[in-house]
Chains A and B, each alone.
Chain A
Amino acid sequence: MDYTIKIGGEAGQGIQTIGDTLGLVFARSGYHVFTHQDYESRVRGGHNVFQIRFSDHPVMASKDRVDIIVALDRESIVNYEKELTEYGQIIYDSMSLKKKHERQQFLDIPFVKLAVEHGGSKIMANTVAVGAVMGMIGMELEMLLAILKDTFKKKGEEVIRQNAAAAMAGHDYAVKQCIKCSFAAAPLAKPKMLIAGNDAIGLGAVASGCKFYSAYPMTPSTGIMNYIAGKETAYGIIVEQAEDEIAAINMALGASFAGVRAMTGTSGGGFALMVEGLSLAAMTETPVVIALAQRPGPATGLPTRTEQGELQFALHAAHGEFPRVIFAPGTPEQAFYLTNKAFDLAEKYQIPVIILTDQYLADSQWTYEGFDTGRLKYTDYRLRGDAFRNLSDYKRHAFTDDGVSPLAVPGDAKHVVVTDSDEHDEEGHIIEDAGTRVKMAEKRMSRKLPDIIKEIEPPHYYGDPEAEVVLAGWGSTFGVMKEAVGLLSSGRKTAMLHFSELYPLPATDRFDYLRILKAAKIGICIENNLTGQFARLFRAETGYEFTHQINRYDGRPFTLEYLTGEMDARIGRL
């Protein structure tokens, strides 16, 4: 069983509600779920899509072929009818769409009429649709009824009852009328966790002791701020909506200087404004974590779409020379653990750490058995309280063997904590002399870097140990690459290398990924950008040049069929 449901409609029609509810039903039923969203930059109207794939085996990418289309507007029918699988069905409400389709793949369900008759209001049309989808795939309604109870808890018993009646009406209608429905849901299993990339980063921050998050809203990063703001009271976190991204990063640095773990998040345009602050973090050696959720540029670009166009920007952003770490999680699970690692490294080495995601990962939901808090690391590297008070002398930027100076909490002792964006001495005061400059530059960069590189884990390798064809990528292409390897392995020996701990590039002493690439006949770099930014970085750092590159830059994510199709076209059927 491996079904894809596509919900299409105008912004404001509730496709998100239908999608979220179905995703939750499937996850709680124990299925593996993958959802992704494709939406326009508008609050009302336009045309948006929520796509859900669910299966009894792990799924981690979207497909182009769709089994059920829930069409809330005419555009959904025009655009996606051709994507239907052989036994696929389109459900729609001919009264709302003011058009009737007689072909056998169409099932006309009066969402609004059923909602009014059974639920008492047309608002419940979406609940009718959810019930109908469940009826089509032969699922019982218990799980949905429990979710409706949770969702409408605050609105009272009557609203819950009305929604339940609406869901049942949709369900029963579909069971009776969908003669062509041949879908069969697998038996239920243990409930799974369903989480999107942005929420995973927010959760990772909360779970890492982040106490301060300042940001300016910008798609697709805003979800991180929304999540953390929702945890403000329960977890004692201050979320500050800054007047601009310049303020956002500077506030985070102020909070970090004061002694708390701090983070900011944005997309490319906002990150452009943060760049000077990034340099300030480096010079003052103030820890900070920055989430950079990419969308297609330049300038405003396609604000709600996806691209991996800012790797080179993240690598080179900010004036001056300093160490940085860049993570590019490929899944919500990686996003969760890497956010934790980002905080650990930022605090340990007093450096900026960037978490590079994109709209596709930010808004995609995955299912998991669960996350293990035992794998989280929390070490307070700061000098506080008595430990600080008991020092006879303190210099914020003292020279040490490993370049890391004690990071004290100002106010905890009589010693003062001084730092400066100007080049400074060990105490943190402004200087001009060449000798101190050299020592400080080396302390910040050369002394820290060898230890930082040791922290970087090797890339994820999946597939044949002696692969002839190696797919390489970073960030959100993880899922589609992994599924593609599974599909292609029956032909040639295929494997993938996925870099989520992206920069510094992992050393090859623990796992020699270069040897694997060099041994393969074909090394294909897969990127959601035009110019192959990772391929360029990789060649610059290692000398290895990929034999092929597959790039998608239409603002849409790679789907399984798209990627395998491109591979066929480039290197012949595998």
Chain B
Amino acid sequence: MPALEDYKGGIPAWCPGCGNFNILNTFKEAVVELGMEPHQFTVVSGIGQAAKFPHYLKCNTFNGLHGRSLPVATGLKLANHEMTVVAVTGDGDCYGEGGNHLLHAIRRNIGVKLFVHDNQIYGLTKGQASPTSMEGIKTKNQPLGVFSEQLNPMTLAIALDCSFVARGFAGDAAHLKGLMKEAMKQEGFSLVDILQPCVTFNKINTFEWYRQRVYHLEPEYNPEDRVEAFRRSLEWGDRIPLGVLFRNNRPAYEKRISIIEDSPLVRHAFDISKVEAALKEFY
């Protein structure tokens, strides 16, 4: 069985007190509890503070380009669906630069687990508005305040019939761990949006701000009721729901591809002798 020490990675370059530390430690605990070994999964990330995540772990890693973690993760999963593929991104990375990929990854229902460190601000580029910044918030680049409507990733994902839609909070590690484990077990695409205070650039959405607002979805909440899920996902402001907002049983994309039913693509041997048949078609 794997232990926490097996996951020791580099020393994080995050600011002291950053919400990312909790997410990192929680993730390690989740994979240990799931009995996953470092070589059995790959973390794909893009660019941003969240994207440095896999360097502070031990696991297969593809740290690619800003916004592009989902297409890389999709290619990887299609080529080897026995590999657990986790995409770790931030609100700018995933909802801004990579927005189109998010739409289509959800539509495909590719079996990728997406964890978004959502701090409602750009950290790496030092404090600009992100797609999830609240309307009116002033930053160096938006001195008159943010005019655009705040993106609601939960509502968006439910509208697209995403197979697993959840929200966690970096300040509630035990709850977050449960969500991560459930997301990992889901067959299709999972989105876990993790509220993660940026202690340096976001002076509004602080740990305290979230603590006063977040609440756990009540036990009798039915995440399979899409209309109720949609309604509940709209909650933001005084009360912010945490938990699995929505889930369904859509088959994963890779499960629908007959040629990889028996074994992952990466295990298929190449037989050059079969090429003659393709050549004959040109006569």
- Least Cβ distance of B16 to chain A in Å? 19
Given known pairs A211-B268, A411-B82, A416-B59, the reply for A253 and B278 (CB within 8 Å) is no
Cβ-defined contact, B283 with A277, below 8 A: no
The answer to whether A235 touches B265, judged by C-beta atoms less than 8 angstroms apart, is no
Q: Mark A273-311, 1 if CB is under 8 A from B, else 0.
A: 000110010001000000000000000000000000000
- CB atoms of B39 and A211 under 8 A apart: no
Report A212-231 CB contacts with B as 1/0, cut-off 8 Å.
10100000000000000001
Could you say which residues of chain B place their CB within 8 Å of the CB of A371? 279
Decide if B72 touches A257 in the complex (CB within 8 Å): yes
Report yes or no: B279 in contact with A254, Cβ–Cβ below 8 A: no
Partner of A251, one of B37, B75, B268, B282: B75
- Cβ contact within 8 Å between A235 and B278: yes
Q: A199-B282, A233-B259 are in contact. Are A254 and B265 (CB under 8 A)?
A: no
The reply to whether the CB of A554 lies closer than 8 angstroms to some CB of chain B is no
Bound-state Cα–Cα, A422 to B39, Å = 22
**Residue pair A193, B76 in contact (C-beta under 8 Å):** no
The answer to whether A178 has its CB under 8 Å from any CB of chain B is no
User: Which residues of A have CB within 8 Å of B62?
Assistant: 253-254, 257, 284, 419
Q: Count the B residues whose beta carbon is within 8 Å of the partner chain — how many?
A: 54
Task: Tell whether B1 is near chain A: CB-to-CB under 8 Å.
Answer: no
Q: Please, what's the 1-or-0 string for A230-252, where 1 marks a CB less than 8 Å from any CB in chain B? A: 01111111101011101110111
B83 & A410 in contact (Cβ 8 Å cutoff): yes
- Chain B residues 37 to 86 lying within 8 A of chain A, measured CB to CB, are 37-40, 42, 44, 47, 52, 54-55, 58-65, 68, 70-80, 82-83
Decide: B75 and A212 in contact? CB cutoff 8 A. Answer: yes
A178-206 CB contacts (< 8 Å) to partner B: 191-195, 199, 203, 206
Are A207 and B103 also in contact (CB < 8 A) when A254-B75, A416-B38, A419-B62 are? no
Per a CB cutoff under 8 Å, which of B55, B58, B100, B275 touches A244? B100
Contact between chains at A409 and B266 (CB < 8 Å): yes
Nearest chain A CB to B280's CB is how many angstroms away? 9
A425-449 CB contacts (< 8 Å) to partner B = 428-430
Q: For residue B65, which residues in chain A have a CB less than 8 angstroms away from its CB?
A: 250, 276-277, 280, 421
Which residues of B (268-283) have their CB < 8 Å from a CB of A?
A: 268, 270, 272, 274-279, 282-283
Quick check: is A122 within 8 A (CB to CB) of the other chain? no
Contact among B63, B265, B276, B283 for A28, CB-based, below 8 A: B283
A419 touches B75 (CB 8 A): no
Q: Which of A234, A236, A252 has the largest count of B CB atoms less than 10 A from its CB?
A: A236
Contact of B64 (CB < 8 Å), options: A231, A232, A250, A430: A250
Complex CA distance for A238 and B101, rounded to whole angstroms: 19
Does A259 touch B at the CB level, under 8 Å? yes
From the candidates B39, B54, B59, B70, name the one contacting A413 in the complex (CB within 8 A).
Answer: B39
Q: How far is the CA of A232 from the CA of B104 in the complex (A)?
A: 22
What chain B residues lie within 8 Å of A212 (beta carbons)?
A: 75, 78-79, 265
Name the B residues within 8 Å of A214 (CB-CB): 75
Tell me if A247 and B71 are in contact (CB < 8 A).
Answer: yes
The answer to whether A373 has its CB under 8 Å from any CB of chain B is yes
How far apart are the CA atoms of A246 and B74 in the complex, in Å?
A: 13
Given contacts A192-B283, A235-B278, A373-B272, contact A258 B75 (CB under 8 A): yes
Q: Is B240 an interface residue (CB 8 A)?
A: no
Query: Once the chains bind, are B61 and A418 in contact (CB under 8 Å)?
Result: yes
B214 contact set on A, CB distance < 8 A: none
CB of A400 to closest CB in B, whole Å: 21
Residue A511 interfacial (CB < 8 Å) = no
Which listed residue, A237, A246, A419, touches B71 by the CB 8 Å rule? A246
Q: Are A262 and B75 in contact (CB under 8 A)?
A: yes
Candidates B44, B58, B60; contact of A411 at CB < 8 Å: B60
A250 CB contact (under 8 Å) in B60, B75, B278: B75
Contacts of B10 in A (CB 8 A): 429-430
Partner of B100, one of A243, A257, A259, A421: A243
Alpha-carbon gap, A197 to B19, bound state (A): 54
Known: A376-B272, A418-B54. A251 touches B64 (CB 8 A): no
Docked-complex contact A418 and B44, CB < 8 angstroms: no
- Residues 215-234 (chain B) with a chain A CB within 8 angstroms: none
CA distance A419 to B72 in the complex (A): 12
Q: Is B257 an interface residue (CB 8 A)?
A: yes
A244 and B64 alpha carbons, distance in the complex (Å) = 17
| A371 to B266 Cα, complex, angstroms | 28
Which residues does chain A contribute within 8 Å of B266, judged by CB atoms? Answer: 211, 258-260, 409
B71 lies within 8 A of A250 (CB): yes
B258 at the A/B interface (Cβ < 8 Å)? Answer: yes
Interface residue B173 (Cβ < 8 Å from any Cβ of A): no
In the assembled complex, A46 has its CB within 8 A of some CB on chain B: no
A248: chain B residues within 8 A (beta carbon)? 71
Known A-B contacts A203-B279, A376-B272, A378-B272; A258 and B39 likewise in contact (beta carbons under 8 Å): no
User: How distant is B145 from chain A, measured CB to nearest CB, in Å?
Assistant: 31
* Chain A residues in 8 Å Cβ range of B42: 258, 410-411, 417
Q: Is A414 an interface residue (CB 8 A)?
A: yes
Is there an interface contact between A260 and B282, defined as CB atoms closer than 8 Å? no
Among candidates B44, B78, B277, residue contacting A240 with C-beta atoms closer than 8 Å: B78
Q: A192-B283, A199-B282 are in contact. Are A420 and B61 (CB under 8 A)?
A: yes
A258 and B275 in contact (CB under 8 A), knowing A233-B259, A242-B71, A410-B60?
Answer: no
Q: Which residue of A lies closest to B73 (CB)?
A: A254
Cβ-neighbour of B78 out of A234, A238, A277, A410 (below 8 A): A238
| Interface: B260 (CB within 8 A) | yes
Q: Give complex CA distance A203, B278 in Å.
A: 7
Type the 1/0 row for B21-39, where 1 means its CB is closer than 8 Å to any CB of A: 0000000000000000111
- Residues in A whose Cβ lies below 8 Å from that of B276: 373
B60 contacts which chain A residues (CB < 8 A)? 410-411, 416-418
Instruction: Please name 10 further chain A to chain B contacts, defined as beta carbons within 8 Å, in addition to the given A376-B272, A410-B42, A420-B63, sorted by A numbering.
Output: A199-B282, A211-B265, A212-B75, A247-B74, A247-B104, A252-B75, A255-B78, A258-B75, A421-B63, A421-B65
Q: Chain A interface (Cβ within 8 Å of chain B)?
A: 27-28, 191-195, 199, 203, 206-207, 209, 211-212, 214, 231-238, 240, 242-244, 246-248, 250-260, 262, 276-277, 280, 284, 370-371, 373, 376, 378, 380, 409-411, 413-422, 428-430
The 23 listed contacts between A and B (C-beta, < 8 Å) are: A207-B272, A209-B272, A214-B75, A238-B260, A251-B78, A253-B75, A254-B73, A255-B76, A256-B75, A257-B75, A258-B80, A258-B265, A260-B79, A277-B65, A378-B272, A409-B80, A411-B60, A411-B80, A411-B82, A414-B39, A417-B60, A421-B64, A421-B65
Closest A-B pairs by Cβ, 5 of them: A254-B75, A251-B75, A250-B71, A258-B79, A209-B270
